[in-house]
């Protein structure tokens, strides 16, 4: 396990009060509260602690929200990375990714808002003040990019497809997976999937492999 995986793990080790605030931020976002509208009072009330306690751990609302998002996203990505690394079979790795996206569909809007996967720059950093937090968001984005490249290289080396261009392999993965994630999470205007989960995973896998052959 590399330094960045360990860094993600460390994000998931807050104090009990900080963890309560992180959980409160996640719940408030899932209740469709925007980052702009959230207040420290909202967060601490949801967490069941006094407002002044927040400032014992964080210098601002923005730092608190950024830390909460890093905790949630970092921990979940670490779990996925560990599961993928435990198997050598490319198809099983792909199915683990599909399962993870489905299991985390309620958080996907938060993830895509924070990381801006395949949607450009990390535009929310102006709301989440602090260079260190923005740097970590950027590191997570790079982590995802590198892991996708590694996964698709394994598929090529195991003979699942013939395409050698790493950019085309990346595009095939991103096009299929982002569309799937948007559909299962209800983000955007894409229709809900009509197939069951197993049919959907098989279809997505076939789409990626066939497009690269």
**pLDDT, tens digit (0-9, with 9 covering 90-100), for 50-80:** 989 999 988 888 888 878 877 877 788 888 8
Three-state SS string across 89-112, please? Answer: CHHHHHHHHHHHHHHCHHHHHHHH
Per-residue model confidence as pLDDT tens digits over 82-113? 899 999 999 999 999 999 988 887 776 655 55
How far is it, in rounded angstroms, from Cα 161 to Cα 159?
5
Decide if pLDDT at 7 tops 60: no
How far is it, in rounded angstroms, from Cα 52 to Cα 6?
31
User: What pLDDT is stored for residue 65 in this prediction?
Assistant: 83
Does this model's pTM top 0.75? no
Helix (H, G, I), strand (E, B) or coil at 127: coil
Cα radius of gyration (the chain): 18
How far is it, in rounded angstroms, from Cα 212 to Cα 184?
24
Domains, the chain, in order of start with CATH, read 3-211 (1.10.357.10)
Quickly tell me which residue has 């959907």 as its tokens: 200
Per-residue model confidence as pLDDT tens digits over 119-175? 333 344 454 545 555 666 676 777 788 889 999 999 999 999 999 999 999 999 998
How far is it, in rounded angstroms, from Cα 180 to Cα 184?
6
User: What pLDDT is stored for residue 116 in this prediction?
Assistant: 44
How far is it, in rounded angstroms, from Cα 4 to Cα 139?
8
With cut-offs at 50, 70 and 90, classify the pLDDT of residue 2: very low
With contact defined as beta carbons under 8 Å apart, do 143 and 74 qualify? no
With cut-offs at 50, 70 and 90, classify the pLDDT of residue 1: very low
With cut-offs at 50, 70 and 90, classify the pLDDT of residue 118: very low
User: What pLDDT is stored for residue 136 in this prediction?
Assistant: 61
Among the listed residues 190, 187, 174, the one whose alpha carbon sits nearest the alpha carbon of residue 117: 174
With cut-offs at 50, 70 and 90, classify the pLDDT of residue 3: very low
> H or E segment at 202?
helix 197-211
Decide if pLDDT at 12 tops 60: no
């Amino acid at each position: 396990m590399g330094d960045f995986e360990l860094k993600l793990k460390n994000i998931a080790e807050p104090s009990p009060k900080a963890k309560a605030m992180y959980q409160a931020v996640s719940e408030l976002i899932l209740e469709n509260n925007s980052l702009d509208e959230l207040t420290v009072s909202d967060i601490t009330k949801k967490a069941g602690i006094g407002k002044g306690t927040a400032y014992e751990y964080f210098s601002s609302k923005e730092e608190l929200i950024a830390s909460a998002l890093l905790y949630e996203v970092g921990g979940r990505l670490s779990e996925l990375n560990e599961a993928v690394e435990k198997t050598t079979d490319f198809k099983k790795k792909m199915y683990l990714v599909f399962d993870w996206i489905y299991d985390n569909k309620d958080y996907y809007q938060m993830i895509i808002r924070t990381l801006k996967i395949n949607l450009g720059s990390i535009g929310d950093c102006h709301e989440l003040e602090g260079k260190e937090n923005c740097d970590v968001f950027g590191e997570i984005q790079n982590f995802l990019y590198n892991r996708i490249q590694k996964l698709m290289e394994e598929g090529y080396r195991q003979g699942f497809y013939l395409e050698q261009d790493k950019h085309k392999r990346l595009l095939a993965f991103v096009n299929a997976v982002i569309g799937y994630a948007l559909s299962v999470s209800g983000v955007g205007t894409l229709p809900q999937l009509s197939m069951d989960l197993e049919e959907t995973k098989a279809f997505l896998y076939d789409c990626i492999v066939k497009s690269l052959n």
